[in-house]
A and B are shown apart, each in its own frame.
Chain A
Amino acid sequence: MRRLNVSEMTALETGAAIRSGKITVVSAAEQVLDAAEKGNEKINAYITICREKALKRAAEVQKKIESGEFSSPLAGVPFSVKDNICTKGIRTTCASKMLENFEPVYDATVIKKLEAAGGVIIGKLNMDEFAMGSTSETSYFGPVRNPRNLSRVPGGSSGGAAAAVAGKMAVAALGSDTGGSVRQPASYCGVTGFKPTYGTVSRFGLIAYASSFDQIGPVARDAADCAAIMDIISGKDSMDSTSLDTECPGYLALLTGEVKGMKIGIPKECYRTPGLNPGTAEKTKYAADVLEKAGAVVEDVSLPFLDYAVPAYYIMASAEASSNLSRYDGVKYGYRSENFSSLSDLYSSSRSEGFGKEVKKRILLGTFVLSSGYYDQYYLKAQRVRAKIKKNFEEIFSKYDLILCPSVPDTAPETGKSLDNPLKMYLSDIFTVSANLAGLPAISFPCGNDSSGMPVGVQIIGKAMDDVKVLNAAHAYQKLTDFHKNFAEVKV
């Protein structure tokens, strides 16, 4: 058997190699496990690496593949899962002291689907605590580093996912995106990250941050991998009332690589964004050119509410988070303080000690905007802004197929610089949050580096339920360019 290294292959390539017998499921898993363990000291992308479980499972999957049980092109592929997605019997921490030893007794729906398709889970990925953050520095288990440059952050909150895929420590990953948490780290690390239309992928088993924004999405080496993963994880789930009642279109099968005739709009407001990295602006223009040459029509459009997207997002997401995180009270599961003398002490000690600073900040903010006397001014108003943003997008999509813009205004910042400047950090979500506010499908894919050599990500946003169109545009771009084939060498 020729020595393949799946850490350098796409998920589809890995699946094909397994199916054709060029590599066994166990070998594939071992390769990724080895790479993960080796690189983790420097990168800290993983909170838990489940070697024993993974190899046992890999052996089972191998047998089933040989007996023809799986039909997915990704059967046998090793997967890494963000640590806010519940895996039965494997601790799921949300990178928090609060759930440090929490072992769910159930699998998230996406995990069930992944395993039913023959996926092999090799570990749980590091992240910002409870998915709140843009740098993966708020983790209780230590920050994640960007494999492209260890002095830079990988982005957040799915920083572990993006770093692992970029740093050859994972083949493909599942992350979660609430305000950009899949797309922004994908952009910072130079990999591809996709956020599906809200409701396309079940949230059952995704530990909630902001219920009306959260979506699980793939972080992988290219758009085709993302499409193949979508085929596995998407679909109506009776355990999630917000999951949409639609047929899975067959994402991978519908990728044509053609964008002829596609009408793409670039919001003119983006280029006026304060702090926009000139490299980012340049690469975005470059991406637009590539697509135009491939037959798309690129024009300017307007997103006048862009400036209100970030405040509306932080108000609503924090509000929902403050409620979603109330269940962590030290009574039933999770961290319980040892210092308390009354019930309210139990609550405040457990929560003060169990939560990190950023989480506490957002809980306070969320509680404030929901409190009597402020609800109308903040929460209700933010809801109205959200509705306006949705409508704005609908108007654009009545004339255009897709929107193109940068994923993030800048490339990955240096470590340790962001948390003391929260407003700047929040504002860097400006291009990603509107897709969450409006529930739209959006993808970030690499398109070169800035002058400091850090990856730039470009974003394509589509109309609700147009996930295939979005994936296809990125796929078309990746057929014409090579940026996504760039891996990071993690020097250990």
Chain B
Amino acid sequence: MKRETVIGLEVHVELATKAKIFCSCSTEFGGAPNTHCCPVCTGMPGTLPVLNKKVLEYAVRAGLALNCSINENNRFDRKNYFYPDLPKAYQISQLYLPFAQNGFVDIKTKSGVRRRICIHEIHMEEDAGKLVHFAKDNSTCTDYNRCGIPLLEIVTEPDFRTAEEVTAFLCKIKSVFEYLGISDCKMEEGSMRADVNLSVRPEGAVEFGTRTEMKNISSFRAIERAIAYETKRQTEVIENGGTIIQETRRWDDAKGQSISMRSKENAQDYRYFPEPDIPPVCISKEEIQHYKDICPEFADERAERFIREMNLSEEDADIISASKNLADIFEETVKICGAPSEVRFWFMSGLLYYMNESNTDACDIKLNPEKFAEFVNIVQSGKITRISGKQVFEKLLSGDDFDIMTFIKENHLEQVEDTGLIEEAVRSVISANPKAVSQYKNGETKILGFFVGQVMKKLKGKANPALVNKAVADWLDRTNNNIK
């Protein structure tokens, strides 16, 4: 029997406000333990929460960007449970009346599948602290720096069917939030966390199977692995006649397994009730309209514009526009140097490679558009080849301040256009490769590329490729003719 996997997500996003949600402590990452706290976020007796208005602003803008309807009157509720990382023994969240409901996100997966993922609700809540374990003496300490960091929780409908759709959705959220400037959504740093609710059912069935919730998944790859594992696990249980227990499972990426934690919702009664210390939150129609008005152009629109105005391919446009930072660099550079396809070349071959190798997030790339444009002009003018250009580009990415032409001269990267030198190199390569010459004469004209490559190598990549090409072709023809 064919089964399908049904997935819903609960995504937590840390908002990048300067201050925490209910007090004025700094949200800065890092910091020695318990140095970014105050009596309010550590739940000292007599303290009270006060909502940071910036959090509300970011929340509403996020809700609008994800096509939700905003509840002009919404409320906070207390979620009560005991745990050492929760100083008040309750988390201030929103259950009964979240600020946003009934939204959607349109996604396009890597393999081109287009889907609409519906959002059930989005609510504001405060983060808990961290428990730090010390293996040395088997002790655990609490660090409350993270207590009170503002979170948005995005709860989707169970609309996903594949891991690819899940990653496409998370990338979209990351892109939208980067465009809004409200979060950097870095899974590895914990500013975006996804809990995966998964169940399986026979294809075509209407009822949902029993679902499990997986927590502790901290990268896109881990999500793919976790979904694959849990689908397999649940399928095996069912096919062996067992039943799925509704529970929370911890994903262990090192072991590649999900491990049972506790029964979801059955054991814990959170005794939600309206938070009496915070009056109902009111957002006026005018404020909502204002946030709608200042909504930026998001990745999709920008990609379409790049395709229209700069002749980029759909694939390239999607990649470049996904990150606001990269798209800004791209657009600004093209504006200055007016050479979209050269800029695109360096983006796709140089920048993406660098990002992968150095594990740098797109929003952290520092590339000065003016310098980049200058560089592009220099390459286009023929002063250096693209091969030599790679070295210059790497230096540009490092963010160092330097003069490009000076760098080129100091490193002898100027393009070689001396036909004499080129001829000399061609002659030496051809005479060193008589077999290849015969192959060429026997009709394997593609061998030309081999010779060009060897000549470029001999000239340390600095020769004008067009000139080399011509010189090699000419020489081979002459040799041909000679023999003939």
Residues of A within 8 A of B (CB): 85-86, 92, 94, 99, 102, 104-106, 108, 203-208, 210-212, 238-242, 319-320, 322-323, 326-327, 329, 331-333, 343-344, 347, 367, 370-372, 375, 379
Determine the chain B residues whose CB is within 8 A of the CB of A320 once the complex forms.
273, 276
**Chain B stretch 57-91: residues in CB contact (< 8 A) with chain A:** 78, 80, 82, 84, 87-90
Q: List residues of chain B with CB within 8 A of the CB of A327.
A: 43, 45, 87-89
Partner of A347, one of B47, B80, B82: B82
Flag if B51 contacts A241 (CB, 8 Å).
Answer: yes
* Nearest-CB residue, chain B, relative to A202: B48
30 contacts between A and B (CB under 8 A): A86-B45, A104-B39, A104-B45, A205-B46, A208-B45, A210-B276, A240-B48, A241-B48, A241-B49, A241-B278, A242-B279, A320-B273, A323-B78, A323-B271, A323-B273, A326-B89, A326-B90, A327-B45, A327-B88, A329-B82, A329-B84, A329-B89, A332-B43, A332-B87, A333-B44, A367-B271, A370-B271, A371-B271, A372-B271, A375-B273
Cβ contact within 8 Å between B44 and A343: no
Are B80 and A211 in touch, CB under 8 angstroms? no
**Given A241-B51, A331-B142, A372-B269: A104 and B46 within 8 A (CB)?**
yes
Q: Is the CB of B50 within 8 A of A238?
A: yes
Q: Given A241-B50, A331-B142, are A343 and B39 neighbors across the interface (CB < 8 Å)?
A: no
Most buried by A among B42, B49, B84, B276: B276
Q: Does B277 contact A (CB under 8 A)?
A: yes
Closest 6 CB pairs of A and B: A326-B89, A211-B276, A370-B271, A212-B276, A207-B45, A205-B46
In this complex, the interface size class of chain B, counting residues with CB under 8 Å from chain A, is 20 to 34
Nearest residue (CB) in B for A343 is: B84
The CA of A323 and the CA of B48, in the complex, are separated in Å by 13
**B90 surroundings in chain A (CB, below 8 A):** 323, 326
CB distance from B233 to the nearest CB of A (A): 29
- Please give me the residue from chain B that is nearest to A368 by CB atom: B271
Q: Are B45 and A239 within 8 A (Cβ)? A: no
Interface residues of B in 13-49 (CB under 8 A from A): 39, 42-49
A203 touches B48 (CB 8 A): yes
Q: Which residues of B contact A208 (CB under 8 A)?
A: 45-46
Q: Which of A208, A240, A323, A367 is the most central at the interface, judged by chain B CB atoms within 10 Å of its CB?
A: A323
Residues of A within 8 A of B42 (CB): 332
| A211 close to B84 (CB less than 8 A) | no
User: Are A99 and B84 also in contact (CB < 8 A) when A212-B276, A323-B78, A323-B90 are?
Assistant: no
Q: CA A105 – CA B46 in complex, angstroms?
A: 11
If A105-B39, A239-B50, A327-B88 touch, whether A211 touches B277 (CB-CB below 8 Å) is yes
Listed residue (B45, B51, B269) with the most chain A CB atoms within 10 angstroms of its CB: B45
CB distance from A245 to the nearest CB of B (A): 11
A371 surroundings in chain B (CB, below 8 A): 269, 271
Chain A positions within 8 Å of B44 at CB level: 104-106, 333
Q: Cα distance A327–B85 when bound, in Å?
A: 11
Chain A residues within 8 Å of B89, by CB: 323, 326-327, 329
How close is B95's CB to chain A, nearest CB, in angstroms?
12
Q: Is the CB of B46 within 8 A of A207?
A: yes
State in angstroms the CA–CA spacing of A333 and B84 once bound together.
12
Q: Is the CB of B46 within 8 A of A204?
A: yes
Whole-angstrom distance from the CB of B6 to the nearest CB of chain A?
26
Inter-chain pairs besides A207-B46, A241-B49, A323-B271, 7 sampled, C-beta below 8 Å: A85-B46, A92-B45, A99-B45, A241-B51, A319-B273, A322-B271, A331-B84
CA distance A242 to B90 in the complex (A): 19
Chain A residues in 8 Å Cβ range of B39: 104-106
Alpha-carbon distance between A322 and B49 when the two chains are bound, in angstroms = 18
Cα–Cα distance between A204 and B50 once the two chains are bound (Å): 11
Q: Across the interface, which residues of B come within 8 angstroms of A344, CB to CB? A: 82
Output the least CB separation between A96 and chain B (Å).
10
Write the nearest CB–CB distance from B51 to chain A, whole angstroms. 7
Q: Cβ of B80: which chain A residues have Cβ within 8 Å of it?
A: 323, 326, 370
User: How far apart sit A241 and B279, CA to CA, in the bound complex (Å)?
Assistant: 7
Complex Cα–Cα for A367 and B270 (A): 10
B45 and A326 contacting across the interface, CB-CB below 8 Å: no
B142 cross-chain contacts in A, Cβ below 8 A: 331-332
Contact between A370 and B278 (Cβ–Cβ < 8 Å)? Answer: no
The CA of A207 and the CA of B44, in the complex, are separated in Å by 9
**Smallest CB gap from A203: residue in B:** B48
> Which residue of B has the minimal Cβ distance to A380?
B273
Q: Which of B51, B82, B84 contacts A326 (CB 8 A)?
A: B82
A19 to chain B, nearest CB (A): 32
Q: How far is the CB of A188 from chain B (nearest CB, A)?
A: 27
Q: How many angstroms from the CA of A37 to the CA of B88 in the assembled complex?
A: 36
Contacts of A106 in B (CB 8 A): 39, 44, 46-47
Nearest-CB distance from B54 to chain A (Å)?
A: 15
Once bound together, how far apart are the Cα atoms of A332 and B85, in whole Å? 10
**A451 → chain B closest CB, angstroms:** 42
Nearest-neighbor residue (CB-CB) of B50 within chain A: A241
Chain A residues near B272 (CB-CB < 8 A)? 370
Task: State in angstroms the CA–CA spacing of A146 and B49 once bound together.
Answer: 37
Residues of B within 8 A of A372 (CB): 269, 271
CB neighbours of B82 from chain A (8 A): 326, 329, 344, 347
CB distance from B369 to the nearest CB of A (A): 42
In the bound complex, CA of A379 to CA of B42 (Å)? 28
Cα separation A329 to B44 with both chains bound (whole Å): 12
Q: Give chain B nearest CB distance to A138 CB in angstroms.
A: 18
Cα(A158)–Cα(B358), bound, Å:
65
A108 — which chain B residues lie within 8 A by C-beta?
46
Q: In the complex, what's the smallest C-beta–C-beta distance from B265 to chain A, in angstroms? A: 10
Collect the chain A residues with CB atoms within 8 Å of residue B47's CB: 106, 204-205
Closest B residue to A379 using CB positions: B273
Among residues of A, the one whose C-beta sits closest to the C-beta of B265 is A372
CB distance from B206 to the nearest CB of A (A): 28
A372 to B43, CA, bound (A): 25
User: Which residues from A are CB-within-8-Å of B87?
Assistant: 327, 331-332
With the chains together, A212 CA to B43 CA distance in Å? 18
Which residues of the partner chain B approach A92 to less than 8 Å between Cβ atoms? 45-46
Name which residue of chain B comes closest to A344, CB basis: B82
Least CB distance from A452 to B in Å reads 39
Q: Which residue of A lies closest to B39 (CB)?
A: A106
For B50, what are the chain A residues with a Cβ–Cβ distance below 8 Å?
Answer: 238-241
Closest Cβ–Cβ distance, residue A196 to chain B (whole Å): 17
Q: How far is the CB of A166 from chain B (nearest CB, A)?
A: 27
Chain A residues lying within 8 Å of B276, measured Cβ to Cβ, are 210-212, 242, 320
A242 to B46, CA, bound (A): 14
A105 to B47, CA, bound (A): 11
A206 contacts B277, C-beta separation under 8 Å: no
Q: Whole-angstrom distance from the CB of A17 to the nearest CB of chain B?
A: 33
CB A241 to nearest CB in B, in angstroms, measures: 5
Q: Smallest Cβ distance from B176 to chain A, in angstroms?
A: 30
Decide if B273 touches A206 in the complex (CB within 8 Å): no
Query: CA of A210 to CA of B47 in the docked complex: distance in angstroms?
Result: 13
The interface bits of chain B over 396-432 (1 if a CB of A lies within 8 angstroms of the residue's CB, else 0) are 0000000000000000000000000000000000000
Do the beta carbons of A102 and B45 come within 8 Å of each other?
yes
The distance in angstroms between the C-alpha atoms of A238 and B23, with both chains bound, is 11
Q: Note all chain A residues with C-beta closer than 8 A to B49.
A: 241
Q: Report chain A residues within 8 Å CB of B43.
A: 327, 332
Residues B78 and A239 in contact, CB atoms below 8 Å apart:
no
Complexed CA–CA distance, A371 and B273 (Å)? 10
Min CB–CB distance A326 → chain B (angstroms): 3
Inter-chain contacts of A319 with B (CB < 8 A): 273
Please indicate the chain B residues that have their CB under 8 angstroms from the CB of A86 in the complex.
45-46
Bound together, the chains give a CA A1 to CA B95 distance in angstroms of 66
Q: In the assembled complex, which residues on chain B have CB atoms less than 8 Å from the CB atom of A211?
A: 276-277
Give complex CA distance A332, B44 in Å: 9
Cβ A370 vs Cβ B45 within 8 A: no
Q: In the complex, how many angstroms separate the beta carbon of A389 from the nearest chain B beta carbon?
A: 17
Contact partners of A240 in chain B: CB under 8 A: 48, 50
* Cα of A343 to Cα of B85 in the assembled complex, Å: 12
Contact A239 B273 (CB under 8 A): no
Which residues on the B side are within 8 Å of A370 (C-beta)? 80, 271-273
